[in-house]
Structure 1
Amino acid sequence: MAGFYRTCALTFLVCAAQTVLAQSSDGTVTVPEDIKREIAGMADDVQKLISYLTAGAGKHQVYDRLATFTDTFGNRLAGSLTMQHAVEYMIGTMKHDGLDNVHGEPAMVPNWIRGLESATLLEPRVQNLAMLGLGLSVGTPRNGLTADVLVVNSFDELHNRSSEAKGKIVVFNQDWVSYGVSVQYRGNGASEAAKVGAIAALVRSVTPFSINSPHTGAMTYQDGIEKIPTACITVEDAQMLARMQARGTRISIRLHMDAALDGEVQSMNTVAEVKGTTHPDEIVLVSGHLDSWDVGQGAMDDGGGAFISWQALSAVRALGLRPKRTMRAVLWTGEEFGGFGSDRYYNDHKNDSNNMDIVMESDSGVFQATGLRFTGSKEAKAIVTEIMKYMAPFNASTVFDGADGTDIDWWFKNGVPGGSLDNENEKYFYFHHSNGDTMTVLDPDEMDVCAALWAVASYCIANLDSMLPR
Structure 2
Amino acid sequence: MSFNARLMAASAIALGLIATPVMAQDARTIRAAEQVRDQALQANIALDYVTQVTTRFGARPAGSRSEQAAADWAADYMRAHGFQNVRIEQFPLVGWERGEESAELLGARPQRLVAAALGHSIATPANGIEADVVFFDGLDALLAAPVGSLTGKIAVVDGGQMVRMQDGSGYGSLSRIRSVGPTEAAKRGAVAFVMRSAGSDEHRMPHTGTTRYVEGKVPLPAFALSAPDADQVARLVQMGEPVRLRLKSTAHTYQTHSQNVIGDIVGATRPDEIIVLGSHMDSWDLGTGAIDDAAGGAITLAAAKLVAEQGRPARTVRVVLYGSEEVAQPTDTGNGGGAYVRNIGVAGVEKHVIAGESDFGADRIYALGLPPGAQGSDFAKIAERVLRPLAVLSGEAELFGGVDIGPLARAGVPVFGLRQDGTRYFDLHHTADDTLDKIDPAQMTQNVAAWAALVRLIADSDVDFRALRSAATEAKP
What TM-score do the two structures reach when normalised by structure 2?
0.86
Tell me the alpha carbon deviations over residues 58-111 of structure 1, each in whole angstroms, 9 at most, x when there is no partner.
Answer: x02212331222122111111000001100110111111121111111122221
Q: 3-state DSSP class of the match of 1:328?
A: strand
Within the candidate set 387, 391, 395, 2:387 is matched to 391
Counterpart AA for 1:79: G
> Are the aligned partners of 1:194 and 1:226 in contact in 2 as well (CA < 8 Å)?
no
> Are the aligned partners of 2:153 and 2:191 in contact in 1 as well (CA < 8 Å)?
yes
> Are the aligned partners of 1:106 and 1:266 in contact in 2 as well (CA < 8 Å)?
yes
Q: 1:342 and 2:332 equivalent?
A: no
1:112 is aligned to 96
Q: 3-state DSSP class of the match of 1:174?
A: coil
1:309 is aligned to 300
2:198 is aligned to 206
1:237 is aligned to 229
1:357 is aligned to 353
Residues 458/250 of structure 1: CA separation in 2 closer, same or farther (3 Å cut): same
2:454 is aligned to 457
Query: What aligned pairs does 1:396-435 form with structure 2 within 5 A after superposition?
Result: 396-403=392-399, 404-435=401-432
2:48 and 2:204 map into 1 onto residues whose CA distance is: 30
1:9 is aligned to none
Q: Aligned residues: percent identity?
A: 31
Counterpart AA for 1:366: A
Shift of residue 293, structure 1, vs aligned partner: 0.7
2:319 is aligned to 329
Counterpart AA for 2:342: N
2:268 is aligned to 277
> Are the aligned partners of 1:124 and 1:252 in contact in 2 as well (CA < 8 Å)?
no
Tell me the alpha carbon deviations over residues 142-171 of structure 1, each in whole angstroms, 9 at most, x when there is no partner.
Answer: 221111111111233335554652201111
2:289 and 2:327 map into 1 onto residues whose CA distance is: 14
Between 1:195-204 and 1:418-427, the stretch displaced more is 418-427
Residues 312/225 of structure 1: CA separation in 2 closer, same or farther (3 Å cut): closer
2:444 and 2:138 map into 1 onto residues whose CA distance is: 38
Shift of residue 39, structure 1, vs aligned partner: 3.0
> Are the aligned partners of 2:155 and 2:193 in contact in 1 as well (CA < 8 Å)?
yes
1:156 and 1:461 map into 2 onto residues whose CA distance is: 44
Residues 265/388 of structure 1: CA separation in 2 closer, same or farther (3 Å cut): farther
Query: What aligned pairs does 1:13-412 form with structure 2 within 5 A after superposition?
Result: 37-55=24-42, 59-162=43-146, 165-176=150-161, 178-223=170-215, 227-262=219-254, 264-319=255-310, 321-338=311-328, 339-351=334-346, 352-378=348-374, 382-403=378-399, 404-412=401-409
Tell me the alpha carbon deviations over residues 21-52 of structure 1, each in whole angstroms, 9 at most, x when there is no partner.
Answer: xxxxxxxxxxxx99865332223322331232
Structure with the greater alpha carbon radius of gyration: 1
1:373 and 1:450 map into 2 onto residues whose CA distance is: 15
Between 1:457-466 and 1:277-286, the stretch displaced more is 457-466
Tell me the alpha carbon deviations over residues 188-216 of structure 1, each in whole angstroms, 9 at most, x when there is no partner.
Answer: 11111111111000110001222111000
Residues 279/115 of structure 1: CA separation in 2 closer, same or farther (3 Å cut): same
Residues 357/381 of structure 1: CA separation in 2 closer, same or farther (3 Å cut): farther
> Are the aligned partners of 1:327 and 1:459 in contact in 2 as well (CA < 8 Å)?
no
Shift of residue 225, structure 1, vs aligned partner: 8.4
Tell me the alpha carbon deviations over residues 228-255 of structure 1, each in whole angstroms, 9 at most, x when there is no partner.
Answer: 1001111211121121122221222111
1:71 and 1:265 map into 2 onto residues whose CA distance is: 24
1:233 and 1:401 map into 2 onto residues whose CA distance is: 36
2:475 is aligned to none
Q: 3-state DSSP class of the match of 1:42?
A: helix
1:13 is aligned to none
Residues 431/345 of structure 1: CA separation in 2 closer, same or farther (3 Å cut): same
1:35 and 1:273 map into 2 onto residues whose CA distance is: 30
> Are the aligned partners of 1:176 and 1:182 in contact in 2 as well (CA < 8 Å)?
no
> Are the aligned partners of 2:182 and 2:193 in contact in 1 as well (CA < 8 Å)?
yes
Counterpart AA for 1:157: A
Tell me the alpha carbon deviations over residues 372-404 of structure 1, each in whole angstroms, 9 at most, x when there is no partner.
Answer: 223333479652442242111111142432253
Tell me the alpha carbon deviations over residues 433-457 of structure 1, each in whole angstroms, 9 at most, x when there is no partner.
Answer: 1111112221111111111111111
> Are the aligned partners of 1:109 and 1:341 in contact in 2 as well (CA < 8 Å)?
no
1:20 is aligned to none
Counterpart AA for 2:159: Q
Q: 3-state DSSP class of the match of 1:284?
A: strand
Shift of residue 411, structure 1, vs aligned partner: 2.1
Counterpart AA for 1:310: L
What TM-score do the two structures reach when normalised by structure 1?
0.87
Tell me the alpha carbon deviations over residues 94-145 of structure 1, each in whole angstroms, 9 at most, x when there is no partner.
Answer: 1111211111111222211211111122225222211111111111112211
> Are the aligned partners of 2:374 and 2:380 in contact in 1 as well (CA < 8 Å)?
no
Structure 2 unmatched ranges of 5 or more: 1-19, 163-169, 329-333, 468-477
How many residues matched?
A: 433
Residues 458/333 of structure 1: CA separation in 2 closer, same or farther (3 Å cut): same
Q: For the aligned residues, what is the CA RMSD? A: 2.2
Shift of residue 317, structure 1, vs aligned partner: 2.6
1:367 and 1:259 map into 2 onto residues whose CA distance is: 33
